[in-house]
C-alpha cells in the first residue's frame, strides 16, 4: 500500500530549510545590531571634545564683554566668531590675527546674516536682546540649532561649556 514515498516531498523540505535559515539569519542580525548598539564604550574627554558640534557665535555686546571666557580654547574647535558692526572684540590682539579665518568682522548686519547662511554651522549662539535688528526668517534653514541666550544667562551658558 505504501509506495515508499515520504509524506513530505523534496520541495517541501527545501521550503522548510530555506524558511528556517531565513529565521535564524534574521534573529542573528537583530541580536548583532542590539549588541553593537548597547555596548558602545564611554567616550574619553578628548573624544568628547573632538565631537564638539560646529558653532557660530554671534559676538553681541554681552558675549564680547565676558572677561572670564578663554576664547583661545574655544577657537581650538570648529567655532567661528562673527563680530557685528560697532562691537569691539579682540580687534588688535594676537588671538584675532592668528585666527583670522575664525574671527570674522562684519561691516553690515546683512553681511553678518549672509556669513551665517554660508557657514551652515550646526549651532548659532547669540543674544537677541543685544541686536537692533531681528533675525531673518530664513536663518533656521541654514543652522540646525539656534540658541538665543538672555543677557543674564550668557555667563552661565559659557561657564558650562
Cβ atoms 79, 100 nearer than 8 A: no
Residue ranges covered by each domain of the chain: 8-40, 46-160
pLDDT digits 0-9 by tens, 99-156 = 668 888 888 999 999 999 998 888 888 888 888 888 889 989 999 888 888 765 655 5
DSSP letter string, 102-159: TEEE-SSHHHHHHHHHHH--SEEEE-GGG-SSPPPTTGGGT-SEEEE--TTTHHHHHH
Rounded Cα–Cα distance for residues 8 and 57 (Å): 72
Backbone angles phi, psi at 155, to 5 degrees: -65, -40
Task: Write down the pTM of the prediction.
Answer: 0.60
pLDDT digits 0-9 by tens, 21-72 = 888 888 888 787 777 777 655 555 445 444 557 888 888 888 877 777 777 7
Instruction: Locate 68 and state its grid cell.
Output: 572670564
Superfamily of domain 46-160: Peroxisome assembly protein 22 (3.40.50.11730)
- Helix (H/G/I), strand (E/B), else coil: 76: coil
Taking Cα atoms as reference points, which of 82, 64, 48, 21 lies closest to residue 161?
Answer: 48
Amino acid at each position: 500500500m505504501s509506495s515508499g514515498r515520504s509524506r513530505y516531498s523534496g520541495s517541501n523540505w527545501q521550503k522548510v530549510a530555506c524558511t528556517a535559515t531565513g529565521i535564524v539569519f534574521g534573529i542573528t542580525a537583530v541580536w548583532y545590531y542590539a549588541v553593537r548598539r548597547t555596548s558602545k564604550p564611554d567616550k574619553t574627554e578628548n573624544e568628547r571634545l573632538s565631537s564638539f558640534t560646529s558653532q557660530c557665535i554671534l559676538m553681541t555686546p554681552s558675549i564680547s564683554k565676558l572677561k572670564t571666557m578663554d576664547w583661545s580654547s574655544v577657537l581650538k574647535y570648529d567655532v567661528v566668531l562673527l563680530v557685528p558692526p560697532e562691537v569691539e572684540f579682540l580687534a588688535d590682539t594676537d588671538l584675532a590675527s592668528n585666527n583670522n579665518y575664525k574671527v570674522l568682522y562684519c561691516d553690515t548686519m546683512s553681511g553678518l546674516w549672509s556669513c551665517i547662511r554660508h557657514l551652515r554651522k550646526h549651532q548659532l549662539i547669540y543674544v537677541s536682546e543685544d541686536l537692533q535688528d531681528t533675525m531673518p526668517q530664513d536663518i533656521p534653514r541654514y543652522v540646525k540649532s539656534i540658541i538665543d541666550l538672555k543677557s543674564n544667562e550668557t555667563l552661565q551658558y559659557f561657564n558650562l561649556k
